């Protein structure tokens, strides 16, 4: 009997303890919340497409021996008889020559910096601005894939930094004499390693130079809009480079800085875009935006059309390619980024979010301008009662109401 009574008491006590434990787990954290800071966010809505470039191009030919080392980056503007390449006896000679030119450029940079020896620091502010400008320009060139331009900006950055060092040092500084002597020694060593005669290869006309041919130079011209059918575009995208078939070709010249690009795009995605419309293009994943106009739009079935865009800004990535992954910018949105799960409505049926400020919950209205999958973008309004930049948005919490104090 006592044993049965004991077992009953144990069971009751166990159930009581379990009930308390479950209740603590279930109700714990009722006032605990999660927050996320409201930051500025910009989003570009873009339509991707495969584009085929249309340009008037002429092959550059020359009789040469050995190995070519190019003197002009793709997309560089050249005149008739401009040296676009040099022929060397071997690949090693090309590498030696590149190293020599880089060292000579560094010598020039150091020499320009040394001109400031003995001057005061009145130019320091301007030099600092030049450093920042050169650094930003170099990064942008790298992001655009224009490494020749990035190299130029790197040299400008190096020169500005050397000038700053000279300006901040004492007037009795010896400059960079030791470094210059080492550079000259290395230039002499590399020059002695060159194994043969170097010959110049010049352009046979004026235009924008590209070092490679793709075989479409005589097939796709700037004005060949009617040739750009959906089938032709698909064919070129599938095979963007074929045998050039031009003897002694060393590159080609693009006649004009204006270029066109043809693509097959769903018309619904470009609703409201017709011939004569102005659009914004992006090449690849680059940050640079290019303004263009629609010169042709021809429906080709299945709700699609062949669009031809024209732009007057020739970049290295455009000049050196026949095809490219591109995007049309159709809308841009900017404002405060808010998680969708944070959106709520108050008793006035106003859409907004709860924020935490000084341990107090407050409701803030939002004006949604873009709906994403798991976030929204809200316009940034400097008005009382609206969400502000850097507000702490409540993303998770229970029993939220305006004026609630949390511990």
The predicted-structure confidence for 68-108, as pLDDT tens digits, reads as follows 888 888 888 999 889 999 888 888 888 888 888 888 888 88
Tokens (6 digits) for 316: 């290295």
350 in the same domain as 316: no
Domain that residue 268 falls in = 47-60+219-332
Q: Is 119 domain-assigned? A: yes
- Give one DSSP letter per residue of 25-36, joined into a string: HHHTTTT--EEE
Query: Cα dihedral sign for 159, 165, 167, 171?
Result: negative
186 in the same domain as 249: no
340 in the same domain as 322: no
CATH code, domain carrying 356: 2.40.420.20
233 in the same domain as 321: yes
186 in the same domain as 173: yes
Cα 95-99-105 angle, rounded to 5 deg: 145
Query: Which residue, 332, 360, 383, sits at the end of a domain?
Result: 332
- Give one DSSP letter per residue of 354-406, joined into a string: EEEETTEEEEEE--EEEE-SSEEEE----STTB--TT-EEEEE-SS--TT-B-
115 in the same domain as 103: yes
Q: Is 74 domain-assigned? A: no
Q: At what angle do helices 147-168 and 91-114 cross, to 10 degrees?
A: 30
What's the pLDDT score for residue 25? 38
Residue 346, Cα to own-chain centre: how many angstroms? 41
* Per-residue model confidence as pLDDT tens for the chain (407 residues): 455 555 554 454 555 444 444 333 333 444 578 899 999 998 888 999 999 999 999 998 888 778 888 888 888 899 988 999 988 888 888 888 888 888 888 888 877 777 776 666 667 777 778 788 878 878 877 776 667 677 777 878 877 787 777 777 655 556 678 888 888 898 889 888 888 778 888 888 899 999 989 999 988 999 999 999 999 999 999 999 887 678 888 899 999 999 999 999 999 999 888 999 999 999 987 778 899 999 999 999 999 999 999 999 998 889 989 999 999 998 888 899 999 999 999 988 999 999 998 889 999 999 999 998 899 999 998 888 999 999 999 998 888 888 888 86
Decide: 97 and 106 in contact? Cβ < 8 Å: no
Nearest Cα residue to 168 out of 130, 135, 129, 119: 119
- pLDDT tens digits, one per residue of 159-216: 778 777 777 765 555 667 888 888 889 888 988 888 877 888 888 889 999 998 999 9
317 in the same domain as 269: yes
338 in the same domain as 328: no
Q: Is 149 domain-assigned? A: yes
Q: Is 256 domain-assigned? A: yes
Query: Which residue, 293, 311, 332, sits at the end of a domain?
Result: 332
247 in the same domain as 144: no
234 in the same domain as 292: yes
| Domain total of the chain | 4
Q: Is 240 domain-assigned? A: yes
Q: Is 407 domain-assigned? A: no
Distance from C-alpha of 293 to C-alpha of 280, rounded to nearest angstrom: 8
Decide: 150 and 138 in contact? Cβ < 8 Å: yes
- Burial (CB < 10 A; 0-12, 13-18, 19+), residue 140, is middle
DSSP E strands in 62-178: the ranges are: 67-70, 76-78, 83-88
Torsion angle, CA of 251/106/191/91, rounded to 10 degrees?
A: -30
Q: Is 204 domain-assigned? A: no
Query: Cα dihedral sign for 149, 152, 157, 160?
Result: negative
Which one-letter DSSP state was computed for residue 287?
S
274 in the same domain as 322: yes
What's the pLDDT score for residue 104? 86
Task: Give residue 66's region: left, alpha or beta (phi > 0; psi -120 to 50).
Answer: left
Which residues neighbour 319 within 8 Å (Cβ) at sequence distance 6 or greater? Answer: 74, 75, 208, 210, 254
Residue 179 half-sphere exposure toward CB, CA atoms < 13 A: 14
Q: Is 65 domain-assigned? A: no
134 in the same domain as 227: no
Walk across the sheet containing 57-61 and list its strands. Answer: 57-61, 249-254, 207-210, 76-78
């Amino acid at each position: 009997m006592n044993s049965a009574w004991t077992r009953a008491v144990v069971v009751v006590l166990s159930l009581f303890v379990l009930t308390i434990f479950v209740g603590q787990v279930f109700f714990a954290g009722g006032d605990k919340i999660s927050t996320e800071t409201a930051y500025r966010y910009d989003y570009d809505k873009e339509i991707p497409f495969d584009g085929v470039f249309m340009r008037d191009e002429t092959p550059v030919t020359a009789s040469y021996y050995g190995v070519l080392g190019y003197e002009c980056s793709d997309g560089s503007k050249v005149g008739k008889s401009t040296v676009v390449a040099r022929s060397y006896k071997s690949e090693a000679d090309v590498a030696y020559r590149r190293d020599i030119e880089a060292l000579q450029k560094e010598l020039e940079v150091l020499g320009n910096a040394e001109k400031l020896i003995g001057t005061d620091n009145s130019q320091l502010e301007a030099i600092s601005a030049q450093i920042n400008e050169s650094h930003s320009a170099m990064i942008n060139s790298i992001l655009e894939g224009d490494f020749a331009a990035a190299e130029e900006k790197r040299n400008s950055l190096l020169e500005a930094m050397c000038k700053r060092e000279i300006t901040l040092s004492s007037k009795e500084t010896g400059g960079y004499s030791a470094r210059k002597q080492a550079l000259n020694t290395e230039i002499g060593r590399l020059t002695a390693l060159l194994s043969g005669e170097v010959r110049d290869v010049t352009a046979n006309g004026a235009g924008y130079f590209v070092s490679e041919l793709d075989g479409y130079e005589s097939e796709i011209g700037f004005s060949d809009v009617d040739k750009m059918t959906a089938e032709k575009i698909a064919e070129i995208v599938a095979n963007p480079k074929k045998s050039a078939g031009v003897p002694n070709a060393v590159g080609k010249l693009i006649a004009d800085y204006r270029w066109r690009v043809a693509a097959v795009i769903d018309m619904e995605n470009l609703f409201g875009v017709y011939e004569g419309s102005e659009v914004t293009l992006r090449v690849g994943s680059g940050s640079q935006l290019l303004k263009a106009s629609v010169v042709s739009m021809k429906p080709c079935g299945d709700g699609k059309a062949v669009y031809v865009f024209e732009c007057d800004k020739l970049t290295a990535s455009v000049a050196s390619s026949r095809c490219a992954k591109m995007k049309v910018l159709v809308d841009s949105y900017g404002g405060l980024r808010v998680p969708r799960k944070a959106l709520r409505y108050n008793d006035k049926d106003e859409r907004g979010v709860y924020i935490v400020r000084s341990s107090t919950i407050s409701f803030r209205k939002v004006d949604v301008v873009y709906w994403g999958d798991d976030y929204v973008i809200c316009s940034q309004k400097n008005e009382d009662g609206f969400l502000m930049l850097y507000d702490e948005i409540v993303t998770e919490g229970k029993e939220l109401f305006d004026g609630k104090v949390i511990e």
